[in-house]
């Protein structure tokens, strides 16, 4: 990759984000099928090669080819490239002071098209964005499931009607169909999800390419702010996401029924269990406990299936004489297939004896049907767990 560095803010008819490249940059250096670039001045006199006329080999200098094709002068400027299937042969010619070379079969190739007129990125287009305060709904890129337009820009503020939080689940996500942008999603089309009511809040996720988040996103408070910025010229399907505003019932912290057996034995299961230490014995203050098989179970978990939606607002753990957990993490699922880690895999300290109860409050509560406790560390070789879930019905 040959980048001069960062995103350029260009004064054209309005502000427009573009990638800045060098005279040496070849189409092979750039991932994407259609994109606009800012060519620097003084590419005419460089020695970078250009192969072809009208259609150029992918190892040709983009900016020199652009002068050859009459798209820009030696002063540089914005060019728009379309990558295409290669040709069996390429014609050489002299145009606009540049001599290109003939070449044999080469794949892929590129050609130029007129650059689009940008819409300002500092104003939100009418087609998208807005202030949403329904308890559920969806947000999509403009024109979804059709392709969005270059330089589309949208902002949504999602607000829960009462104290609570927002969840956002991406059902469909394809911003460029490639890995372009790297882990940080620089220099490419992005969806950014923030805590709070604007871009000043903490970033919950920055998304790009065809990489939807692996878990449902959630805010910690009543507001979530989402931006969509199409910085490249490519047109892609974009995204469809469903949000839910979760409002918490008052007084949501009673025992959900492990100790008092309202939760039945069949609702409890585990990755493994020793004889006489079955999953269903993991009940707070119960006579026995759950114990997994340390010798063979490398990723132990205990699952409680609440069968209907519940808010889980706290967890109490307890060991049993001879052994206890010293730390765990929590995962939850509404379908039993996709499990999300609470707090991004937050580690909860557990017990230091077989008797006392350790309690942790989950803030904000999880709205879920199933919960799993994943033991991470334990005392000796005897990981025993008794527990209770706190919360309320959802
Ligand atoms: C998405 O939201 C729009 C407007 O609120 C609604 O008309 C449409 O039915 C929703 N689509 C889906 C698939 O939920
Ligand atoms: C993303 O969309 C592009 C353009 O429609 C398509 O070519 C590509 O296959 C899609 N990628 C994925 C992963 O769906
Ligand atoms: C956004 O949130 C901040 C902090 O909670 C608040 O001070 C500000 O008034 C809010 N702005 C809007 C436009 O609601
Ligand atoms: C939870 O129990 C319900 C009802 O028995 C069942 O349909 C569902 O598949 C269970 N979920 C999981 C994650 O096991
Ligand atoms: C366990 O609880 C008892 C009674 O509350 C207390 O005296 C004791 O110090 C606790 N043990 C630990 C290790 O915290």
Tell me, in angstroms, the distance from the centre of ligand 5 to residue 270's CA. Answer: 29
Q: Which of 137, 144, 170 to mutate to test the pocket of ligand 1 (most atoms within 8 A of CB)?
A: 137
> For the chain, how far is it from start to end, CA to CA, in angstroms?
51
Give the ligand 4 atom nearest the CA of 333. Answer: 13
CATH class of segment(s) 130-247: mainly beta
pLDDT tens digit sequence for 357-381: 999 999 888 999 999 999 999 998 9
CB-CB contact of 340 with 213 (8 Å): no
Residue range(s) occupied by CATH 2.60.120.260 in the chain: 254-393
Query: Is 3-113 in CATH node 3.40.50.300?
Result: no
pLDDT in tens, the chain (394 residues): 333 322 222 222 223 345 668 899 898 887 667 777 888 899 998 788 999 999 999 999 999 999 999 999 999 988 888 888 889 999 999 999 999 999 999 999 999 988 765 544 433 444 588 999 988 889 999 988 888 988 888 999 999 988 888 999 898 899 976 656 566 787 788 999 999 999 999 999 999 988 888 778 989 889 999 999 987 767 889 999 989 888 777 788 899 999 999 999 999 999 999 999 999 999 999 999 999 999 999 999 999 999 999 999 999 999 999 999 999 999 999 999 989 999 889 999 999 999 999 999 998 889 999 999 999 999 989 999 999 999 999 8
Tell me, in angstroms, the distance from the centre of ligand 4 to residue 25's CA. Answer: 55
Burial class for 346, CB neighbours closer than 10 Å (0-12, 13-18, 19+):
exposed
201 pocket-lining for ligand 3 (C-beta < 6 Å): no
Give the ligand 5 atom nearest the CA of 355. Answer: 1
Nearest bound ligand to CA 355? 5
Residue range(s) occupied by CATH 2.170.130.20 in the chain: 3-113
CATH numeric code, 254-393: 2.60.120.260
197 pocket-lining for ligand 3 (C-beta < 6 Å): yes
Tell me, in angstroms, the distance from the centre of ligand 3 to residue 223's CA. Answer: 10
Tell me, in angstroms, the distance from the centre of ligand 4 to residue 305's CA. Answer: 6
Residue range(s) occupied by CATH 2.60.120.290 in the chain: 130-247
- Mean pLDDT, the chain, as a whole number? 87
pLDDT at residue 58, rounded to an integer: 94
Tell me, in angstroms, the distance from the centre of ligand 1 to residue 138's CA. Answer: 6
pLDDT tens digit sequence for 280-292: 999 999 999 999 9
């Amino acid at each position: 990759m040959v980048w001069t560095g960062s995103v350029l803010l260009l004064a054209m008819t309005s502000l427009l984000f573009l990638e800045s490249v060098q005279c040496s940059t070849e189409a092979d250096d750039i991932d994407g099928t259609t994109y606009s670039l800012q060519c620097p001045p003084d590419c005419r006199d460089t020695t970078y090669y250009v192969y072809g006329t009208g259609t150029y080999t992918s190892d040709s200098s983009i900016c020199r080819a652009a002068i050859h094709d009459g798209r820009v002068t030696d002063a540089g400027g914005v060019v728009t490239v379309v990558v295409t299937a290669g040709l069996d042969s390429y014609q050489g010619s002299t145009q606009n002071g540049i001599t290109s070379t003939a070449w044999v079969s080469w794949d892929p190739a590129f050609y130029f098209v007129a650059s689009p007129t940008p819409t300002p990125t500092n104003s939100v287009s009418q087609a998208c964005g807005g202030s949403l305060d329904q308890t559920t709904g969806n947000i999509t890129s403009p024109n979804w499931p059709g392709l969005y337009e270059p330089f589309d820009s949208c902002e949504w503020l999602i607000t829960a009607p009462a104290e609570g939080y927002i969840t956002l689940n991406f059902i469909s996500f394809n911003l460029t169909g490639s890995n372009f942008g790297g882990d940080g999603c620089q220099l490419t089309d992005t969806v950014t999800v923030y805590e709070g009511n604007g871009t000043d809040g903490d970033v919950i996720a920055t998304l790009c390419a065809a990489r939807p988040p692996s878990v449902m996103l959630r805010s910690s408070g009543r507001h979530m702010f989402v931006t969509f910025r199409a910085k490249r010229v490519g047109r892609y399907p974009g995204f469809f996401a469903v949000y839910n505003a979760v409002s918490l019932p008052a007084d949501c912290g009673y025992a959900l029924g492990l100790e008092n057996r309202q939760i039945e034995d069949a609702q409890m299961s585990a990755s493994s269990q020793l004889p006489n230490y079955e999953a269903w014995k993991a009940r707070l203050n119960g006579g026995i406990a759950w114990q997994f098989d340390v010798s063979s179970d490398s990723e132990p978990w205990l699952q409680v299936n609440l069968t209907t939606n519940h808010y889980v607002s706290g967890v109490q753990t307890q060991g049993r004489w001879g052994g206890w957990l010293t730390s765990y993490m929590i995962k939850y699922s509404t379908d039993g297939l996709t499990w999300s880690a609470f707090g991004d895999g937050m580690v909860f300290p557990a017990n230091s004896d077989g008797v006392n109860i350790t309690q942790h409050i989950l803030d904000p509560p999880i709205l879920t049907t199933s919960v799993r406790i994943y033991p991470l560390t334990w005392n000796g070789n005897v990981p025993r767990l008794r527990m209770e879930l706190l919360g309320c019905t959802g």
